[in-house]
Amino acid sequence: MKKLMVQTSLVLTLLTVGLVSHVQPSLIAATDTADGTGWRLYTNARFGFSIRYPDDWRLGNPMPDGVGVMLHPPIEQSLVAVSGHMNVVSGSSPEGRQTLKEFASAHHRIITDLYSKKQITLRWQPDQERLFAGFPGKELIFTYTDDKQGEIIEHHIFSLGRNEGRGIRVKVPRSAEDRVMPTIRKMLETYQPGRDQNAVSPLVPK
């Protein structure tokens, strides 16, 4: 039960859409203009990761406990959440914590349950193997129909380290996917994982 509660809390954090309007100054991320690119830099004060994002995207509210931030592309009903979390759930990795496969399986289950409580049926696409900040990662993709927004697609991309995990959640109208995802791929190329001692995947040989 404790394991499920922790995992649910991590997923709820990923799904949060700006519920916090005030955080401690030490948890507020800084932004500046990227030299020569027209992109801005977001740096997370808690986990130390950073990522660049387009200059015409709006920086939204910080997520609870300073774990990340919401970014808003100039496309109606779209958002991008960039976040980190602690890998504290027990699993079968060499460090005794969750592996990427275990995290993805739990993510599938919890996301499906959360949306089913809203009477929303998800249509899952096959999981994709991805590199995230140079580490093994996964991309989970699903679509659903929203009464107000029409067909929505979400991409959840994440990797899991020895002590920390990192992820990016993309939610856009299905019709705008081809406009947003190429930018997301370029953003991921700029991603820096932060503290090296916590960013090492248990699945990568030393």
pLDDT 10s digit of each residue in the chain, 206 long? 544 444 544 554 445 433 333 333 333 444 454 443 679 999 998 888 999 999 999 999 899 988 999 999 999 889 999 999 888 888 998 878 889 999 999 999 999 999 999 999 999 999 999 988 788 899 999 999 977 768 999 999 999 887 888 999 999 999 999 999 999 999 999 998 876 544 444 444 34
CA pair distance 102, 110, nearest whole angstrom: 12
CATH 3.40.50.10890, domain 2-195, yes or no: no
Q: Report pLDDT for 37.
A: 60
Report the DSSP pairing between strands 79-86 and 164-173. Answer: antiparallel
- How far apart (Å, rounded) are the C-alpha atoms in residues 34 and 110? 37
Contact 37, 186 (CB under 8 A): no
Residue 180 contacts residue 174 (beta carbons within 8 Å): no
Task: Report how far Cα 99 is from the mean position of its chain's Cα atoms.
Answer: 17
**Tell me, what's the pLDDT at 42?**
95
